[in-house]
């Protein structure tokens, strides 16, 4: 047989396919992974098309170096998803397809080893005889592996690895010794391995609590769904949304035993809690029926999890935003927990919204999707208003004794409160409430969305503030590290001992961060066991998990932290939540700031009283502000309706669609010139009447890492008008060459400005 031509997607910003010759006898298929020569290197890419023709003469085409025939091709549906994402977010296909694959899959040298994950090991008579004697008595883990193998006669690689971390190495050695054989599992066997039987599905429900009336109603609606059915599950904090997800999964697997479900959570830190919950209830299932997929996994784990999803072996894939691009050939249900969370938005490279792609996927596959939240995004709420999504509501907490916490606003503008400022902004009522909790052994949580010791260090004589040399931002004082840190670029420096302007040595920290609050609390309540959780205290991998566990175990009296502590965690013993310094977001230039603040504070207060009574104290200088008033009433709906009315009047999203053109340059002038020229190009394009173009402006933090940044906003009430304008605009942008401009990019549906 001769050659065919394969057109391959490679990670490359230029939106073209690369043609290669391929030996026809290898029967290349679209969706298969190949390694190809590219310049002086070799790259892994995905076959997009197989054809007979190329615009490049055949003799000049290079040849495919390796084809991963054992790995099933990525399906046409997955490729359609990638195509959609590339088009919608204005990127080259290769910038979607390749980053969606784990690194291990993108290294051809690892392909063989990855497939070992789907090997089956069988014990041979020689092994039955020799193995027990060959292992020393103290090698308990190895003996356990041998015993399991002996008992079942065979083991899958995944099952073996669960018994011993080095199982594959051991089994290979045992094979060398002639004690075991190995064979590759067929595709059908892989799916079979984790296919649910009626009895395992029933076991799912065995340990289950009796559903509340509201939960039962919600599930009835979900179970009655057919085809593409988007649900907004609007449930107050603690209403038992997780139980609803689990039951929806169980029902799906009872109906379609080989189906797959995708469960998205906004943060890596929330995956262990979910995983433990699902695993406890899925106890009768093979471990690899559930895999997690997030950026915190070691490379090998992540590749194995990705493959388990791709081969159909994983029934439930639990992951963060990147999991929305996983290959799931049997996907039949999608769940997006805390759908409002900004973490679903990728803020670099391909700036996608995992929630929005999840909805697109559900529509493409004609399957149900559940979007859960106590504070839905206004985009989602609007869809529910318009009946695009079915709204399901849980108004009560699931645990019978638990009621929603009582919220009090502490007026910090009152003269009496101002005089208490010496206590680092902790008002007397809040301190008293903390003491009360301490006295009766209950936990408190204090939310302050600012890490570090103090957000700035300033000269008391001339007002100079220590700034980052690389960014137009203040340096944050980190007292424990004895240093100053830039939260934009990571720049680290020593604490200056004198003012750079006037030489005055009397420098004072301005404002407060979590470290300072922790210090003040320790001084005020010396008997309390205080823990701080923020990005600084959890920098080490896995440390967040240990810290959260110590809270759950009751080893902590007061937990201080940033938004990391506000989300999703089911802390059973917290009865008091305090909120400090939240006011700034009320007056932000970003129209979504109040939506985010409301969600954050409602989530934070949702940590209180999950097992019984609870109280929330919010310190504010604006207690009459409608946002706080709505919060005190637990009135998400009121807040959403008012805010949506304001958005409608201002024609802001979700009543319009936006895109940003960002420019980064060595000088601000160059960035603005690039944007001005881009604006002129857009204005000259025909058919862009329905798109409003705003003037280029410098970004709020204009300089980061010596790079000057500016952007230009486009807006339209028609999504398709905006999309076609962007598409027509792109080639003109590519042609613009302006000195000192480093990069530019388009962001569709930006969330933050």
> Binding pattern to ligand ADP, positions 93-132, x when CB under 6 A?
----------------------------------------
Q: Which stretch binds Zn ion (CB under 5 A): 65-73, 489-497, 545-553, 739-747?
A: 489-497
Q: Compare residues 10 and 471 and give the one whose CB is closer to Zn ion.
A: 471
483 binds Zn ion (CB under 5 A): no
238 binds ligand ADP (CB under 6 A): yes
751 binds Zn ion (CB under 5 A): no
Find the shortest distance in angstroms from Cβ 393 to ligand ADP. Answer: 12
Contacts 24+ apart (CB under 8 A), 418-421: none
Q: Within 10 Å of residue 658's Cβ, how many Cβ atoms?
A: 19
575 binds ligand ADP (CB under 6 A): no
Q: Which stretch binds ligand ADP (CB under 6 A): 57-65, 150-158, 180-188, 241-249?
A: 241-249
Angle made by CA atoms 463, 468, 471, in degrees to the nearest 5: 120
266 binds ligand ADP (CB under 6 A): no
Q: How far apart are the C-alpha atoms of 89 and 411, rounded to whole Å?
A: 45
Q: How far apart are the C-alpha atoms of 467 and 703, rounded to whole Å?
A: 12
Instruction: Tell me the HSE value of 663 on the side-chain side, using a 13 A CA sphere.
Output: 30
Sign (positive or negative) of CA dihedral 169, 170, 173, 178: negative
Q: Compare residues 443 and 537 and give the one whose CB is closer to ligand ADP.
A: 443
456 binds Zn ion (CB under 5 A): no
Cβ 647 vs Cβ 653: under 8 Å: yes
Q: Compare residues 212 and 444 and give the one whose CB is closer to ligand ADP.
A: 212
| Phi, psi values for residue 98, rounded to 5° | -70, -45
How many separate helices (H) and strands (E) can be counted in the chain?
A: 24, 31
Residue from 308, 398, 445, 746 in contact with ligand ADP (CB under 6 A) = 398
Report the run of H or E that residue 101 belongs to, with start and end.
none
Report how many residues bind ligand ADP under the rule CB under 6 A: 16
Residue from 56, 116, 399, 461 in contact with ligand ADP (CB under 6 A) = 399
| Residue 470 interaction partner, one of ligand ADP, Zn ion, none, beta carbon < 5-8 Å per kind | Zn ion
Find the shortest distance in angstroms from Cβ 281 to ligand ADP. Answer: 11
Sign (positive or negative) of CA dihedral 444, 447, 448, 450: positive
Q: Which stretch binds Zn ion (CB under 5 A): 20-28, 466-474, 687-695, 716-724?
A: 466-474
Cβ 341 vs Cβ 351: under 8 Å: no
* Residues in Cβ contact with 676 at an 8 Å cutoff, skipping those fewer than 6 apart: 696
Q: Compare residues 209 and 542 and give the one whose CB is closer to ligand ADP.
A: 209
Concatenating the DSSP letter of every residue in 263-315 gives EE-S-GGGHHHHHHHHHHHTTTS-GGGEEEE-TTS-HHHHHHHHHHHHHT--S
271 binds ligand ADP (CB under 6 A): no
Cβ 171 vs Cβ 160: under 8 Å: yes
Q: How far is CA 662 from CA 210, 699, 732, in A?
A: 52, 9, 15
Q: Compare residues 295 and 395 and give the one whose CB is closer to ligand ADP.
A: 395
Ramachandran quadrant class, 706 (left: phi over 0; alpha: psi -120 to 50; beta: rest): left
Find the shortest distance in angstroms from Cβ 402 to ligand ADP. Answer: 7
Q: What is the DSSP letter of 91?
A: -
289 binds ligand ADP (CB under 6 A): no
The C-alpha torsion from 666 through 668 and 670 to 673, rounded to 10°, is: 160
Find the shortest distance in angstroms from Cβ 399 to ligand ADP. Answer: 5
| Residue 206 interaction partner, one of ligand ADP, Zn ion, none, beta carbon < 5-8 Å per kind | none
217 binds ligand ADP (CB under 6 A): no
**Residue-wise burial string across 330-362, b where 16 or more C-beta atoms lie within 10 A, e elsewhere:** bbbbbbbbbbbbbbbbbeeebbbbbbbbbbbbb
Residue from 194, 200, 239, 458 in contact with ligand ADP (CB under 6 A) = 239
Find the shortest distance in angstroms from Cβ 162 to Zn ion. Answer: 45
Cβ 703 vs Cβ 470: under 8 Å: yes
Angle made by CA atoms 512, 517, 519, in degrees to the nearest 5: 120
**Helices 241-255/271-281 angle, 10° precision:** 50
Q: How far apart are the C-alpha atoms of 628 and 630, rounded to whole Å?
A: 5
Q: How far apart are the C-alpha atoms of 537 and 451, rounded to whole Å?
A: 10
Residue from 32, 118, 200, 237 in contact with ligand ADP (CB under 6 A) = 237
Find the shortest distance in angstroms from Cβ 631 to ligand ADP. Answer: 17
Q: Compare residues 243 and 356 and give the one whose CB is closer to ligand ADP.
A: 243
Residue from 64, 358, 457, 468 in contact with Zn ion (CB under 5 A) = 468
Residue from 73, 102, 240, 561 in contact with ligand ADP (CB under 6 A) = 240
Residue from 7, 150, 435, 488 in contact with Zn ion (CB under 5 A) = 488
215 binds ligand ADP (CB under 6 A): yes
317 binds Zn ion (CB under 5 A): no
> Binding pattern to ligand ADP, positions 193-212, x when CB under 6 A?
----------------xxxx
Q: Compare residues 456 and 499 and give the one whose CB is closer to Zn ion.
A: 499
In angstroms and rounded to an integer, the radius of gyration of the C-alpha atoms of the chain is 28
> Binding pattern to ligand ADP, positions 554-573, x when CB under 6 A?
----------------x---
Residue from 161, 241, 382, 478 in contact with ligand ADP (CB under 6 A) = 241
Q: Which stretch binds Zn ion (CB under 5 A): 211-219, 488-496, 662-670, 736-744?
A: 488-496
Q: Compare residues 74 and 404 and give the one whose CB is closer to ligand ADP.
A: 404
Q: Which stretch binds Zn ion (CB under 5 A): 206-214, 445-453, 459-467, 692-700?
A: 459-467
Which residues would be at the binding site for ligand ADP (CB under 6 A)?
Answer: 209-212, 215, 235, 237-243, 398-399, 570
């Amino acid at each position: 047989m001769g050659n065919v031509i394969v057109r391959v997607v490679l990670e490359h910003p230029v939106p073209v396919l690369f043609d290669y010759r391929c030996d026809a006898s290898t029967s290349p298929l679209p969706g298969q992974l190949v390694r190809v020569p590219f310049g002086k290197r070799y790259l892994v890419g995905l076959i997009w098309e197989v054809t007979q023709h190329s615009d490049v003469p055949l003799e000049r085409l290079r040849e495919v170096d390796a084809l991963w025939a054992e790995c099933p091709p990525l399906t046409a549906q997955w490729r359609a998803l990638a195509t959609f994402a590339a088009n919608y977010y204005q990127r080259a296909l290769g910038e979607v397809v390749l980053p969606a694959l784990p690194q291990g899959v993108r290294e051809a040298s690892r392909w063989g080893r990855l497939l070992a994950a789907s090997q089956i090991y069988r014990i041979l008579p020689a092994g039955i005889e020799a193995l027990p004697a060959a292992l020393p008595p103290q090698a308990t883990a190895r003996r356990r592996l041998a015993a399991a193998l002996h008992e079942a006669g065979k083991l899958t690689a995944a099952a073996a690895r669960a018994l011993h971390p080095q199982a594959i190495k051991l089994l290979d050695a045992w094979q060398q010794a002639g004690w075991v054989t190995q064979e590759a599992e067929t595709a059908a066997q892989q799916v079979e391995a984790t296919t649910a039987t009626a009895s395992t599905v029933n076991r799912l429900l065995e340990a289950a609590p009796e559903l509340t009336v509201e939960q039962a109603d919600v599930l009835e609606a979900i179970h009655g769904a057919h085809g593409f059915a988007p649900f907004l599950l609007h449930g107050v904090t603690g209403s038992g949304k997780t139980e609803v997800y689990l039951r929806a999964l169980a029902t799906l697997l009872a109906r379609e035993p080989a189906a797959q479900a995708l469960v998205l959570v906004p943060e890596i830190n929330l995956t262990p809690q979910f995983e433990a919950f699902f695993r406890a209830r899925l106890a009768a299932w093979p471990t690899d029926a559930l895999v997690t997929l997030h950026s915190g996994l070691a490379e090998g784990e992540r590749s194995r999890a990705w493959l388990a999803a791709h081969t159909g072996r994983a029934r439930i894939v639990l992951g963060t935003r990147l999991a929305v691009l996983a290959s799931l050939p049997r996907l039949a249900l999608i769940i997006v927990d805390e759908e409002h969370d900004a973490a679903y938005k990728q803020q670099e490279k391909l700036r996608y919204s995992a929630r929005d792609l999840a909805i697109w996927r559900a529509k493409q596959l004609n399957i149900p999707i559940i979007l859960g939240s106590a504070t839905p995004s206004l985009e989602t709420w609007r869809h529910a208003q318009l009946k695009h999504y079915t709204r399901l509501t849980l108004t009560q907490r699931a645990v019978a004794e638990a009621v929603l916490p009582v919220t009090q606003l502490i007026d910090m503008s009152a003269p009496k409160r101002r005089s208490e400022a010496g206590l680092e902004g902790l008002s007397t009522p809040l301190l008293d409430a903390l003491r009360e909790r301490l006295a009766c052994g209950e936990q408190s949580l204090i939310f302050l969305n600012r890490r570090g010791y103090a957000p700035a260090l300033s000269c008391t004589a001339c007002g100079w503030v220590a700034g980052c040399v690389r960014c137009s931002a203040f340096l944050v004082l980190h007292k424990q590290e004895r240093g100053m840190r830039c939260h934009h670029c990571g720049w680290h420096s020593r604490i200056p001992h004198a003012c750079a302007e006037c030489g005055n040595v009397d420098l004072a920290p301005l404002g407060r961060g979590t470290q300072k609050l922790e210090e003040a609390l320790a001084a005020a309540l010396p008997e309390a066991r205080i823990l701080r959780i923020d990005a600084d205290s959890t920098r080490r991998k896995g440390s967040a998990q240990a810290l959260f566990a110590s809270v759950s175990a009751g080893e902590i009296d007061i937990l201080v932290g940033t938004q990391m502590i506000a989300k999703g965690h089911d802390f059973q013993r917290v009865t008091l939540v305090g909120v400090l310094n939240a006011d700034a977001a009320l007056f932000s230039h970003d129209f979504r700031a109040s939506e985010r603040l409301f969600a954050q504070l409602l989530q934070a207060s949702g940590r209180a009283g999950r097992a019984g009574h609870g109280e929330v104290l919010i310190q504010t200088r604006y207690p009459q502000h409608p946002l706080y008033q709505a919060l005190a009433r637990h009135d998400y709906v009121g807040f959403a309706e008012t805010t949506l009315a304001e958005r409608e009047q201002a024609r802001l999203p979700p009543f319009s669609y936006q895109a940003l053109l960002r420019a980064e340059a060595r000088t601000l002038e160059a960035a603005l010139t690039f944007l001005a020229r881009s604006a002129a190009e857009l204005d000259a394009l025909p058919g862009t009447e329905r798109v409003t173009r705003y003037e280029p402006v410098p970004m709020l933090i204009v300089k980061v890492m010596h790079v000057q940044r500016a952007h230009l906003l486009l807006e339209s009430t028609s999504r398709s008008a905006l999309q076609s304008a962007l598409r027509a605009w792109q080639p003109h942008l590519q042609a613009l060459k302006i000195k000192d401009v480093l990069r530019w990019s388009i962001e569709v549906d930006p969330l933050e400005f």
